[in-house]
Chain A
């Protein structure tokens, strides 16, 4: 196929090169190892050509051309390092700096900021222009996402992520000329808009203009508090993303090293959200069978992705009864930790601090929901994103790659392959099918892999043959795809029985709380790593997890039983927005 591809010959900085027709100057230069500076460009996004930082000189052209948006042509003679190109790069960075809150030390993105990195690269040590930044306070009105408009360089990446990936468009440009800002409809706080707090904007922001709410200090304080028993649970997708920040290959599996790091950080117990995932499968799987057999509301839809739940509540409130009432693995874990585990460990629930390490900004919101707790204590006390965990690990001076491996603690640390794959789109469905199939048929599944629901495709469909009935399933990730599914559900024309939806691209492995620099290419590597973890585990079906079995025998009783209902299920409700465009 490559041979039939039409090739184009050109020179970049006098070096001859041949690339496929249609290649942009920026990618052609990359082949030669030349990194043309850029800020608004993002490899997973539609090209914007706004920042103009990638302007290069092309012989015969009067003006500079943007390397991100200009396709190469036969005989093109590109220069990326002439006086005018340098003047342009430095001037544009200086212009950005003049309209940027420059207190890097106070910035959550210090040392992990594209603007800072580029200034350093071009030896810009200080701003040569008077500051024109409008000092506005940070907007910290919700538990998930903090906006700092004075750090915004108007690159538009967050707008594209929100609109093109999620189909929500909670963020947009407003105003014009030097007054242009990135903001929400009517300048409302994000939680009052269409925003569902998924944090994809924070993942693509090149500066510190949109960041997760930093809760690391709460954890550091709790760890120093001798009266508290601090336990931590880690989501399935964190162990395949954490390594990125420590120079490991994307998709590197660092489960054991991560456990060691958490123990060195001082957590009393290091548990696994995968245990909660197995528990979720027990409840959700039985709930599905119950609905199927008793004429309940179908299609049933998964409810473990909090961004997705928020989306349902805000955008399709009339369809809420389609959501499974099962709590997410994180919240199930929290509920069990404050009850079952507390009892076992001989602790009062209020003596336990549950910390969750999540790939997700919306999880911070989920943990704060009034439904997620009882008797005055929370299921989960603090949620940290993968990014915040990275900060903590660096804070204590650890390097993940060099740490020895350790196992999760018992009893909430043992999990199955089914729990592991929760982190990828299609994983929850596959895990549920493994259990549902065996519960219904009483037979052992011969082939555990449901290949139809794997992969990065936006919407996947499959049919599973159960005795007496075919079950039609669908799996979608990103809310843009979810909307397509939901329009059918709303109209009552959905052909499916069971639907899994994850708010973020690729599922949790691509969550809004994952390390900065997460791209679709990296998401795919993390996805492969999760399936690798699954394959290597001795137990790969949730209902075969012995600790889960013990939990039901000794504490919960039956799935969907009274105790289970009290602790592991919840209700969702319509969320009104203060405006409407109808």
Chain B
């Protein structure tokens, strides 16, 4: 079995990304043509059959999300493409934008048609500014060809796409913060309800999707069979993953679900630099959980990873070799959240700060058992009570590391 497939990435390098004609030559916008002649509900059903889960990290079923978006009553619905891609070690969406921009535009048009939306917004992370011209050009050409704008393909459906760049805050990947950011407000999450599907961007019903989730849809409409034949069990199809850290060939790979972690790290990513040992692996970016080399033979699927104590999340995989201690890794990860918390809610604002203080003490050998207890309590309280997903997941790495590497935190034995 080949470890890499080309389904989502099959257009990569196949056309001139600045030319809609070139895209149409390889069958571009045929999926949209097909979609507008379908019953939108059937498209939702297809997505549900393909068991597509949101690729941004929350893993919410895409078919259900679109079906709900359709059902919400309200004027001027909005579809948002979350291209903020702020999770560390996650850079797969960039490849989709860079190599297949028209597919994303086509996907959003389809989403607009299915959800009954009039506007689409792409919220792209500030650091991807270099890809703005490419997307703006794609939007303009698609509008000129009637794939955006009024009465698309003569079907009486109007849809426009707007491109927004973020200011660089990680938290703006969170749905409500992203929406506030587009609205021109400070990008800080708000409480839910109201849920964005009912009252989102400018109080309009909003359906928010990750770049990869959206990008899958045109391909699936064109060639469902190939997708359904990939993967295993509940994890059908393919997944775009990004591998980073102490590997020889970091990069983005499209794999069928079910590929083992070993194949990913040792075949696709070329193994560990200088054949060192693996200290730990973090799945799903900074908010993801960590484990050790014992995971290598686990197949990369939603269920298998979960059973092994980690999650697919954003699709990022960070491999850390034996030169970095678990504590130093956690300090680095904590540094990130101490910077990126929005600061509104108490557990996340203050909790990150104190966990950082204790981890620093631990690294210097100055922590005591009470510190470990305090740190554990704060981490749990953060996960249980924070306002948004950032605070909820910020301590995933710490809490999972405490389970996987208990010896690192066991000061009782050492001091006795």
* A residues at B contact (CB < 8 Å): 47-53, 55, 63-64, 66, 69, 71, 84, 87-88, 91-92, 95-96, 98-99, 128-130, 132, 153-154, 156, 173, 175-180
Contact = CB atoms under 8 A, between A and B. Distances in A.
A63 B392 contact: yes
Contacts of A128: 374
Nearest to A132: B353
How would you classify the secondary structure of chain B's contact residues: helix, strand, loop or mixed?
A: helix
Contacts of B308: none
Given A63-B384, A95-B354, A96-B350, A50 B344 contact: yes
Which of A47, A87, A178 lies at the interface centre, i.e. has the most chain B CB atoms within 10 A of its CB?
A178
B294 interface: no
B338 A177 contact: yes
B51 to A, nearest CB: 22
Contact of B169 (A49, A153, A176): A176
B86 to A, nearest CB: 14
A178 B349 contact: yes
B386 A178 contact: no
A52 B345 contact: yes
Given A49-B387, A66-B191, A95 B343 contact: no
Contacts of B338: 177-178
Interface stretch (B54-62, B153-161, B375-383): B375-383
Contacts of B380: 84, 87
Contacts of A53: 346
B385 A64 contact: yes
Interface in B45-68: none
B148 interface: no
A52 B348 CA distance: 10
Nearest to A95: B350
Interface residues of B, number: 34
B30 interface: no
A92 B383 CA distance: 13
A478 B408 CA distance: 58
Given A52-B347, A128-B374, 9 more contacts: A51-B346, A55-B385, A63-B385, A66-B385, A69-B193, A88-B385, A92-B385, A178-B350, A180-B349
Most buried by A among B188, B349, B387, B392: B349
Interface in B337-361: 338-347, 349-354, 357
A332 to B, nearest CB: 44
A98 B357 CA distance: 12
Nearest to B186: A173
Nearest to A68: B191
6 contacts: A50-B344, A66-B191, A91-B381, A173-B188, A173-B343, A177-B341
A98 B385 contact: no
A85 to B, nearest CB: 9
Most B CB atoms within 10 A — which of A51, A69, A91, A130?
A91
Contacts of A153: 346
A178 B347 contact: no
Contact of A88 (B186, B193, B357, B384): B384
B347 A91 contact: yes
A52 B343 contact: no
A174 to B, nearest CB: 9
Contacts of B374: 128-129
B352 A178 contact: yes
B128 to A, nearest CB: 21
Interchain residue pairs A-B with the least CB separation, the first 9? A180-B343, A95-B350, A49-B191, A55-B385, A177-B341, A91-B381, A178-B353, A52-B385, A176-B343
Contacts of B339: 177
A98 B349 CA distance: 12
B346 A52 contact: yes
Given A173-B186, A177-B341, A48 B191 contact: yes
A134 B187 CA distance: 24
Contacts of A177: 338-343, 349, 352-353
A88 B344 CA distance: 17
Nearest to A57: B384
Nearest to A129: B354
A57 to B, nearest CB: 9
A53 B386 CA distance: 10
Given A129-B354, A177-B339, A177-B352, A95 B347 contact: yes
Contacts of A88: 347, 381, 384-385
Interface string B376-416: 01101101111100001000000000000000000000000
B352 A51 contact: no
Given A99-B350, A176-B169, A87 B344 contact: no
A176 B342 contact: yes
B394 to A, nearest CB: 11
Nearest to A63: B384
**Most chain B beta-carbon neighbours within 10 Å: one of A98, A130, A177, A180:** A177
